[in-house]
Every structure is written in structure tokens, then in C-alpha cells.
Structure 1
Amino acid sequence: MGAKDETISPTTFSNLSDSSNTRSGTDNSPENDIIDGAHEKDAATTDVTPDTDAVARPTGPPPISNAKKGLIAGLLSLSVLIVALDQTIVTTSLPDIVAALKSSSGYSWVGAAYTLACAGVLPAYGRFADIFGRKITLMVAILLFILGSGICGGASSINMLIGGRVVQGLGGGGISALVNIIISDIVALHQRGAFMGMLGATWAIGGAIGPLIGGALTQNVSWRWCFYLNLPIAGFTMCMLFLLLKNNKGLEYENDTRTVWQKLLKIDFCGIILVAGATVLLLLALDWGGTTHPWGSGIIIAFLVVAFVLYGIFLTLEWFQDQRENYPRPIMPPSLFANKTRLGGYLFTFFHSIVFMCISYFMPFMYQSVYGKSPMGSAVYLLPQAFVTGGLSAGAGIFIAKTGHYLPVMWISSVIIIVFTGMLSTLDETSNVGKRICYVMAWGAGIGPVFQAPLVVIHTQVERKNIAISTTTWSFVRMLGMSIGISIGGVVFQNQMEDQISDPAIIRQLPEWLLEPLSGTNAAAATQMLNNKGSDISAHVLSLVRYMYSHAFKYVFYTCLGLCGGLLSVLLIGKHQVKMRGDLGKKEKQEKREAENRALSEQPGESV
């Protein structure tokens, strides 16, 4: 796992400046297999002696035209769009779905089943993509997503619908990981920010318009088309990508002549089972805690304890396998986290995802409960924020691609997120429409630019052969952070509502029939009931209820403000060239070309 085979064609990538001149805060931590010998490779790449062998033997996929890159990126963005839509499209359709399938007990699983399946399989896709190739693995993921969408659309029971959502999640997790891997394969790192910014914009806009599309389809056609809509889009995308993509594999598997059975033996199935089991148990505990079961109940404590024990066993197994060549290759090598910059990128992603998802999830709820908006109305309120977030995600990606400076983007975004998370905590039931919309828009202006920037940071500190593993780990960290964000927000909200409904001063002012609906675990479901019965409730009582919800959300925002402290992990991130480890930067390439030209000019020629 040393520095061998890391030279690359000088025509493949260009960059900004010599790493020895531009890097500050260089990491001195142990880096194991991920960048073993990287410092020696950096030194080697500054050698300006012409090396025709290095030029003739580029590593990684061959370069492709910009037009083809753009077409592939557009199709991958379309794949991301349907995955992002599927996370939110059912939120406005759930009442109709529950009524049509005659089941109210399993509605919460319609969303949870998708998330659990998605997060559980994410780490495995990186190794599958390395061994069997990006194209084949992506085709399987899209096929699973199409199959799951068909099952959901044709569901005749809530159990069938939940099963379909699991299959969808198995495919959706693969799509969300593989689009980043494929972009990393075909686009030079110094250009990658622009393409990944486009993916981040697609995520933001797709998630925001999902409730609007779901509500429109449910109202005008049928809730089943929330799922059937995926079939033509995913089918078209799969066919086009099948024609355009090559089945690139990880560098260490490019010339692998082993049989399928021998390749399967190299897959870390034990690691896949351990991390999937631990993740499912953790997310179930966070989802059920305080709602289905009290936090102190035996089942929640058992799930949490077993989850962390399984994570411990998983990390130990991964470390053991990472040290030995003849064992299955780990799906998440601990050495990924041994580098300071990579660790900072993963931590920043984790806390950014928690804050992003917590506020994104509860803002529509706040618009409905505090300001009396319908589900569709709350989605419309959030559209400006979605387009600002998406637009700045794309804009920041272009900035990073043009300048190579990612740290200013991350610093400025972190400050904006912290400031306007604090401003969101000042919203109450008396806030005017301008504040309700503009504060969220400004917060989104901080969230958007750093959707994908941490992945660019991580890629500056890995070799090309580790793109898939580092990228799927990043996707897993982001998915885990989002799930935890929803759970943390839910716990804080429920606790605050429970504290208020237990206050004698409030109990005296509320009619008895409202006490149970406004209790901690029931308060979320009471929103629509309160809006529908608003005319039957006195102005004083309605104002008090709006205040209670507003007060609870204030503490959700306070919690998010505290979690914003995790964004200080940006301090761990050093200033590096925007290029892969072992690749030539712009200055090295220029020096190489000049040396080649000098060598040619010094050859004997015709006398003048």
C-alpha cells in the first residue's frame, strides 16, 4: 500500500499551486494504508525530469470530454432528484395513504423504513463498486429503487408498502453513494466542486419540492403516483447511464482476474452485517424513544447498548482486517479517520447534517402549529430557502473549482449558520411574515455552500484507489447525522411540551379535552386537529397553544445552536492543494512540460 503506481497523465488533471507552498497546518498523524507514502509521492511528483513511462501509464479512468461529463452529471443529478424527492414526497400524502390502506398503526414506518434501509447498506456500496465496478453496482441500485417504487405504488396493505420502502431504501442508499463516486472518477478534483455543488443543489431543491409534488399528485391523481412517478424517470436514467458509463473499478481491482466467488470472499460481509445491525438498532432507539416507548424503558436502553457494542466490534474488526492483506478488505478502514483533515471533514459533515436536518424537519411543523399554515402552505413558505440553499450550493462549488479555496467557504458558511440558527430562536407566535421567511432563507445561505465542500476536502487527502471507500463513509456519516438530527429535535420538542402541559398555570387556562392532545408524545399529531377546529377554540386558548408550540421550538433551536459548536471542527482542516494524493498539481505539470520542451530543444537538429 505504498507509493507505487500513483503517477498520472499530465493531461488528465490541472491544479493550483505546489503543495509545499500552499499547504499549512499539515497533518502529522499516522495515515496507514490510506495515504501511506503520500509525502514521498508528493516529493516525487515535483521531479521535472521527463518520464515518458509515467505519461504513458495514467492511473484511474481515462479523461472524457466536458460535454460527456456534463451529460453524465445531469443524469446523475436526475437520479439524486428522485432519491431526494422520495424522502419527503409522502409527508403530505400520509393521511390519504393511511386511509386508503386502512391502517393507522404503521404510518410512521413509511418514512422510517426507507431511512433505515438507506443508512444500513451505505457503507457496503463502496467496496461493491470497487470490486464489481461502478456501472454494474449503480445499475443494481437503480433496479432496486425501481422495484421498490413499483411495490409501493401497487401496495394493497400497509405492510406491503413498508416492504416496498425497504427495497427503495436499499436502492436509494446505493444511488446516493455512487453518484459521488462516479463524479469523483470522471472529474478532476480541482473541477469537482462545481459538479458536486450541482448535486447538493439538487438535494436541497428536491427535498423542498417533494411535499408540493406529493400533495398535488395526491389531490389531483392518486397517492400511488408519488411512487409511480419514479418509474419512467429512473428507467430513462438507468438506460442512458448504461450507455454512457464504463464499468470502472477501484484501482487495485482494475486488472483483477479472480473469479466472482474469489471476489465475494474478499467482501467484508461480517462488517456489513455489524454496521447495518448497529445502525438499525441506533435509529430505531432514537425513533421510538419518547414516543413509542419511554427513554428509560428496557427496550430503548437495550437497543442503544447493543448498537454501541456492535459499533465497537465493527471498528475492531475493521482495524484487524486493515492490517492484514489476506483478509477481506474493510468497508470503513479506521485509518480513514487517522488524518486530521479527513477527520475534520467527517466531523463537520456530521454536525452540519444534524443541524440541517433538525431545522429542515421542524420548520414546516412550526409553520403549521405556530402560524396555522396547511402542509402545502408550509412547503410554499420554505421554497425561497430551498432555492437559496440550492443556488449557493452550486455557486460555492463553482467558486471552489475556480479558485481552489475551500476554507473561506467553510468559515463564512459556519458563521452564517451559527448566527441565523440563533436568530431562528427569536421567532415566536408574534413574528411577522418577513422574519418567518427571511431568517430561514439566511440560514439556508449558510447551509448550502457546505453541502458537498467537506467531500472535496476529504478527497484532497486520499489516493485515487480509496475514492469509493472514503466517499461512501462520508455518505454514511451524513445519513447518520440527518437521522440523529430528527431524533434530537423530537426529544427536545416533546420534553418541552410535556413540561408545559404539566404546569398548573397552563392547565388552568386550557379546556380538559386539549390536555391529552398537547402532551409531549401527542403534540405533533395535534397540529392539523387544532387548525381544523380553530374556529371552535377561543382566541385566548388558541393564542396560548400557539405560545406553547413556539416555546418548545425555541428550545429546539437552542439545541441546534449548541450543536453548531461541532462546526468548529473546521479548525482541524488544513489548507491543501485541490488535487488527489499522488496526482500532479498545476505547477508540477507546468514544470514537467517545460522540462520536456527543454529536453526536446536540446536534441541535435538541423543547423541554422
Structure 2
Amino acid sequence: MATTTITQVELEVLPSVQHYSASAQKSDAISGVPQRSTDRSHDESPRVRPVAAVAADETRYLTGVKFWLLMLNLAAVIMLYAIDMAIVATAVPAITDHFHTVADIGWYSVAFRLSQCGFQFVYGKAYKLFPIKNVFLIANAFSFIGSLLCGAATSSSMLVAGRAIAGIGTAGLGAGSNAMLIHSVPLRRRPTFLGLWAAIEGTSAVLAPLLGGALTQSAGWRWCFYISLPLGGATLLLTYALFSEAPKKSEVARLTTKSKLMQLDPISNVILVSSLISLFFALNWAGTKYAWNSGTVIGLLVTSVVLAALFGYRQYQQGEKAVLAPRILKSRVVLTSLLFITLFNSAQNVLEWYLPTYYQVVHGYTPAQSGLLMLPILIAATIGAIGSGTLMSVVGYYAPFMVFASVTMPVAAGLITTLQIDTSLAKLIFYTALIGLGYGIGSVGPTVAVQTVLSDADATLGIAVLMFGSSLGPAITIAIAQVIFTSELSKNLGGLGSSVNGTSIESNGLTQLLTQAPASQRHDVVEGIDKSITHTWYLVVALACLMAFGGFGAEWRSLKKDDPAESTTARREGLTTADIGGLQSHDT
């Protein structure tokens, strides 16, 4: 009853608001007074919204069974997203045996990540211009087709192409899930769901290699890709049936399809993808096929930087028509969130990249046992993500959780660098669980921050920026970590004599180095590997420390006071609740 009354009052006031607003603008124009902008993306001042207005806004969101089915569907999408990225790792040996080549191993991952990074901004803009459901279904179809091609691949090249197509789809699934959440859940409740999503994504990423190994052994490697088809098909159908959104703003709705497609700026995207291809080739070849100081690697890196600068200049030149509007990056909240999530994800990925190897080679655990020892990170991160999301909805601020992660993760990373051959199991579990807790608690904040300060229409662009950074950062830092590790390994094992020389280090795996070394030197080899990995983790400490610039630099904006979800009708007219409330007082 209260909600109905509020809505009626709002509708009764609106015509007079429109008349008043139009008259005021005419009067201001005649008198030379600058007209006030109603664009939330340019307004950083906090808004205290009446409780009645907040209650009225919630009538536009889904409720009941349909809402919970949509949330379950989006959770399944997040799980599909994480599985697609991680499941291929354990299938690689079987794939290389089937196609009788190891030349494309790197590209099974690189092709996927390249497409995912390269199309983030396109999807961010597409969700702003086109109906969210349509764009999301297209992304889902790309993911479905890519998985199908991978499963049915008759050559290694066909598998690489399938992974690239699946990456294009995955880029849209992540951004689309957030776009649908924005249109289905009030801002102050979103952290709870984002925390659950982070827990689901982390769990899926850890379990995906185990699932991939089980499928490869029982049904064959192709089922690592076919497993995504029923889940992808179900999410596609459920999205079509469950999700609905309000019409786009008038200035977007009146654009022709051709105009909208031109605003996706295909030229800029070609430049960006070309820059990423050059970068990924350089990172993939450096230290393996070519030396880091070779002309080929340097040339690729220079080309990547030049093309990235050209992409940035074109965005500046295009303005609002750019695929990434420059004003999005002028927001302090967007920039600090981008810095935080890029360093945050990079630190965690570098740690987790070497941690199973450390367990197996230095401490002598089996692959299965090393997998179990990853559980402390997973469990702590899950608790942290769900707990922080829930608390964030209660307290109404995201910044404290980013600050907590900025303090916890450097401390935990520093403790991890003290690990040695004789470190107890209890310390291994405690140190890794501590960094997992920090990771979980900090995982939700950047996404919530961007949604707090940007309008619903611009939030998809902000999220695309964050997803780009969180994908590209690990790709670069893992390559840097590999350089540090190989350099440290050569230094720490180089003095052991001819039995362990540079040639054997480059041409053998770590386990082979250990088994081929004389019995009298095996302990020294283990110590050398231990030092090499822990020294590589100094990079994790550095990245975690630099996170502080993003965590402590975050603005303390309230989810409850700064909800960009104005009442549906007022938002469509570009009016705020302050306009309506002020006019009511004026009329009285």
C-alpha cells in the first residue's frame, strides 16, 4: 500500500516537474545562467535520497521466483565463465598427444585470453547501446560455438580458433552478468550477490582442472569442452525467458542501428587487438624462442606500445562516440579501482602459478596432495568474498574492505617468501589461507565502487575497464615472474657443476632436474629451486604493496546515499529525486 501511494505521488508530481524544468531552462538561457547538467557520470557530489524514493525505485526490480531463478542462472554463467578459462590446463598433455604437436600449447591459453581482453570495451559499449538481453545472448552463442569447435577440433589450429571464439563469448558473459545484475538488484544489495559470484568463480577455477583431469581420463579430452554445451544452452534459454529491462534512454533509443554499430568503433578495436597480439607474441616468445633483448621481442613490444597509444588518442578524438569514452577514466573511483584490481589479480595469479610447483618439487607432495593444499586459499577466499559482500550491504561502504585487503595481502605475501624446505605444514596452511582471506575480502570492492559512482548506462563501461585490467595484468606479470624465476634458477643452480648446467636447466623440467642430479647434490638442487621460487614471490609482495595506492585511494562513497538508480520515470527524464523533492517544496 505504501509503495502504491509513493508511486502515485511521483506520477502526479512528474508533469509539473517537466513543466517547471523546461520553464527554468528557458529562463536560464535568456538570462545567461548556465544550465545544470543532469548527467550522473559527471556529478561526484553525494546525494541523500529520501527513504520513500528508495522504496519507489525498488518496484522496477524483479521479485519472487523469477528473480531467484535469474540469480541462479547468472551464477551458472559465472561458473561457466570460470570453467572455460581453467579447464584446458589438465587436458593439454592429451591434446598434444592427439595432434602430435607441442607448438601450439601456449596458444590454447593465449588465444582465449587475447580475445577476452580485446573485446571487453566493445561489449561494454554494446550493453549501453543495445538491449542487454540481445547482446548477452550473442555472447552466449559465441561461447557455445567456441566450445563446440574445440570439442570437435580435427587439428590443433582448429582448436586454437575455437578457443579464440570462446574467448570472445566469455568477454561478453562477464560484462553481461554484471549488466543484468545492475538492472535486477538495487545497488546496496548487489555486494551480497557479487560476493557469492566471487566465491563461485574462485571455486570453479580451482575445481576446473580437477574436473578436466577426470574427464580426460574417463571420457577423453574433448569432453573438457563439450561439458560447457549443456550448461551454456541452459543459461541461454533461461536468460531469454527470465530477463527484461526498461527501454533505453531517448537519446540512445532514437539512434539507428547503423549509428549504434559505428559507435562500437571497429577501427579502434582493430588497433587494440593488434596491440594485444604484438604484446602476447612478445610475452609468449621472450625467454623461450627469442631472448628478451632480441630485435624481434623489442620490436613487438614497441609496436604494442605505439598501437596502444594510437588507441588512446583515437578514444580522446572520438569523445562520447568512442568505444571507451575518456570521461569514464577521468573518475578517481574508476582509476583507483582499475589500479587495485589489476595489481590484486596479478599478485594472486603469480602466487598461484608457482604454488603447486613449490609444493611438489620443494616439499615432495604428489600432484593430488598439492591440489588439496590449494584448498586453504580457496576456503579462506570463499569465506572472505561472501562475508565481505554481506557486510558491505549492511554497512553501506566498499572502501574499508579494499583497505583491509591492501594491508592483509602484503603481510601474507611477505610471510610466504619466508617459506623454506623445512617449513611446517601448519605454516604453509596458515600463510596461504591468510592471503586467500585478503583476496576474498578485496574481490568485491572495485566492482561495487564503479557501480556506485557511475550511472547504470555507464556502469557497463566501467566494469569492462576493470575486467580488461584484471585479465591483462596477470598475463604481463606472469611473464615477468617467469623471467625472474629462470634467472634465479640459473644463478642458484649454476654453481653446482657440470651435472646441473645452463643447458640442462633450459631443456629439462624441474622434476627431471631433481632426479637427474647426483644423490649428493639433490638437497642443493631442492634448496636452489626453493630460493628461486620464493625470490620470484618478491614480485607478489611488490604488487600487493602497490595495491595500497588503489585501496587507500578509494573514495568512501555510500551505497545507500549514492545509489545511481533514480526512480524509473525520473531517470528517463534526466531528473533526480532532489529535483522532485525541491519542486514539491516550491509548489507548497
TM-score range, shorter chain: 0.7 to 0.9
**Please, what TM-score do these two structures have when normalized by structure 2?**
0.85
CA distance in 1, matches of 2:41, 2:160: 45
The verdict on how the C-alpha distance between 1:159 and 1:453 changes in structure 2, with shifts beyond 3 A counting, is same
**Aligned runs of 1:59-78 on 2, under 5 Å?**
62-65=60-63, 67-78=65-76
2:194 to 190, 193, 196: 196
Alignment CA distance shift 1:306-1:494 (3 Å): same
**Structure 1: which amino acid aligns with 2:537?**
F
Partner of 2:503: 516
Q: Does 1:348 align with 2:327?
A: no
Residue aligned with 1:460, SS: helix
Whole-angstrom distance in 1 between the partners of 2:396 and 2:285: 44
Write the distance in 2 (CA, Å) between the matches of 1:290 and 1:109.
16
State the Cα distance separating 1:447 from its structure 2 match: 0.6
> How far is 1:248 from its partner?
5.5
Structure 1 counterpart of 2:307, from 307, 310, 315: 310
Residue 529 (structure 2) aligns with? 549
Contact preservation (8 Å) 1:77, 1:202: yes
Q: Describe the shift of the 1:563–1:262 C-alpha distance in structure 2 as closer, same or farther (beyond 3 A).
A: closer
Question: Paired residue for 2:33?
Answer: none
User: How far apart are the structure 1 equivalents of 2:503 and 2:545?
Assistant: 36
2:391 aligns with: 399
Paired with 1:344 and 1:62, the residues of 2 have a C-alpha distance of: 31
Q: Distance in 2 between matches of 1:141 and 1:9?
A: 39
Q: CA deviation at 1:226?
A: 0.7
Q: CA deviation at 1:376?
A: 3.5
Shift of 1:426: 0.9
Are the structure 2 counterparts of residues 107 and 67 from structure 1 closer, same or farther at C-alpha, using a change threshold of 3 Å? same
Query: Is the 8 Å Cα contact of residues 376 and 436 (structure 2) preserved in structure 1?
Result: no
Q: What is the CA-CA distance between 1:507 and the residue it aligns to?
A: 2.0
Give the Cα separation in 2 of the matches to 1:280 and 1:129.
Answer: 25
The corresponding residue for 2:17 is none
CA deviations over 1:201-225 (Å, ceiling 9, x no partner): 1121111111111111112221111
Question: C-alpha distance in 2, partners of 1:403/1:115?
Answer: 36
Q: SS of the residue aligned with 2:555?
A: coil
Q: Is the 8 A contact 1:117 1:170 kept in 2?
A: yes
Q: Tell whether 2:177 aligns with 1:179.
A: yes
C-alpha distance in structure 1 between counterparts of 2:510 and 2:227, whole Å: 29
Whether 1:483 and 2:475 are equivalent positions in the alignment is yes
Partner Cα distance (2:384, 2:530) in 1: 29
Q: 1:377 aligns with which of 365, 369, 389?
A: 369
Q: How has the CA–CA distance of structure 1 residues 441 and 582 changed in structure 2, closer, same or farther, with 3 Å as cutoff?
A: closer
Give the one of 37, 43, 61 matched to 1:38: 43
Alignment of 1:258-337 (within 5 A): 258-322=255-319, 329-337=321-329
> Would the alpha carbon gap of residues 598 and 300 (structure 1) be closer, same or farther in structure 2, given more than 3 Å must change?
closer
Q: How far 1:551 sits from its partner (Å)?
A: 0.9
Listed one character per residue, the Cα deviations across residues 487-507 of structure 1 (whole Å, up to 9, x for unaligned) are 222121111112234x3x322
Whichever residue aligns with residue 522 of structure 2, its letter is: L
Amino acid of the structure 2 residue aligned with 1:489: A
Q: How does 1:179-258 map to 2 (within 5 A)?
A: 179-246=177-244, 251=249, 256-258=253-255
> 1:572 maps to what in 2?
553
Contact 1:349 1:454 in 2 (8 A): yes
- In the alignment, the residues of structure 2 paired with residue 459 and residue 345 of structure 1 have an alpha-carbon distance, to the nearest angstrom, of 11
Q: Give 1:139's aligned amino acid.
A: L
Kept in 2, the 8 Å contact 1:131–1:253? The answer is no
Matched, 1:164 2:162: yes
Distance of aligned partners of 1:365 and 1:320 in 2 relative to their CA distance in 1, 3 Å threshold: same
1:135–1:242 Cα contact (<8 Å) kept = yes
CA displacement at 1:598 relative to structure 2:
11
Q: CA contact under 8 A between 1:134 and 1:248: conserved in structure 2?
A: no
8 A contact 1:9–1:55 mirrored in 2? no
Distance 1:184 1:216 in 2: 37
Q: Structure 1: which 5+ residue stretches go unaligned?
A: 1-7, 12-31, 324-328, 603-608
Structure 1 residue 124, shift from structure 2 partner: 0.8
| Letter aligned with residue 422 of structure 1 | G
Inter-partner Cα distance in structure 2 for 1:75 and 1:360: 29
- 1:532-563 deviations in Å (ceiling 9; x for gaps): xx4x7544332222212111111111111112
Aligned pair partner of 1:366 in 358, 362, 368: 358
Specify whether residues 155 and 218 from structure 1 end up closer, same or farther in structure 2 by C-alpha distance, changes over 3 A only. same
By relative contact order (CA 8 Å, sep 6+), the higher-ranking structure is 1
Cα distance change, pair 301–270 in 1 and its aligned pair in 2 (3 A): same
Task: Give 1:460's match in structure 2, choosing from 448, 452, 457.
Answer: 452
- Write the distance in 2 (CA, Å) between the matches of 1:10 and 1:180: 32
Q: Which amino acid aligns with 2:510?
A: T
Distance 2:247 2:202 in 1: 30
Over residues 284-313 of structure 1, what are the superposed CA-to-partner deviations in whole Å (9 max), with x where a residue is unaligned?
322322122211111211111111111111
Residue number among 87, 97, 100 corresponding to 1:99 in the alignment = 97
Q: Using the alignment, how far apart are the partners of 2:381 and 2:194 within structure 1?
A: 14
Give the deviation of 1:75 after TM superposition.
1.2
Report SS of the residue matched to 2:419. Answer: coil
Could you tell me whether the CA contact under 8 Å between 2:86 and 2:208 is conserved in 1? yes
**Matches of 2:579 and 2:103 in 1, distance apart?**
67
- Is 2:510 the partner of 1:527? yes
Q: 1:113 to 1:583 in 2, by over 3 A?
A: closer
In structure 2, C-alpha distance between the alignment counterparts of 1:249 and 1:308, rounded to whole Å: 40
Measured after TM superposition, the shift of residue 443 of structure 1 is 0.9
Count of residues paired in the alignment:
546
- Pick the structure with more helix per residue: 2
- Tell me: CA distance 1:185–1:583, structure 2 relative to 1, closer, same or farther (3 Å): closer
- Contact 1:134/1:249 (<8 A) preserved: no
Q: Distance in 1 between matches of 2:325 and 2:581?
A: 40
1:76, 1:179 within 8 Å by CA — same for their partners in 2?
yes
Q: TM-score scaled to structure 1, two decimals?
A: 0.82
Q: What amino acid does structure 1 have at the position aligned with 2:553?
A: L
Q: CA deviation at 1:86?
A: 2.1
More moved, 415-424 vs 336-345 = 336-345
Question: Any conservation in 1 of the 2:485–2:532 contact (CA below 8 Å)?
Answer: yes
In structure 2, relative to structure 1, the CA distance for the partners of 1:122 and 1:591 (3 Å cut) is: closer
User: How far off its partner does 1:582 sit?
Assistant: 4.9
Read off the aligned partner of 1:433 and give its amino acid letter.
L
SS in structure 2 at match of 1:186: coil
Structure-1 residue corresponding to 2:13: none
Q: Deviation of residue 351 (structure 1)?
A: 0.9
> How far off its partner does 1:595 sit?
10
Q: Does 1:80 pair with 2:78?
A: yes
Which residue number in structure 1 is paired with residue 137 of structure 2? Answer: 139
In structure 2, list runs of 5 or more residues that go unmatched.
1-6, 11-36, 568-575
Change (3 A) 1:374 1:73: same
Query: What code does the residue aligned with 1:147 have?
Result: I
1:34–1:466 CA contact under 8 A, matched in 2:
no
How far, CA to CA, are the matches of 2:327 and 2:42 in structure 1?
A: 14
- Within a 5 Å distance, the mapping from 1:431-446 to structure 2 comes to 431-446=423-438
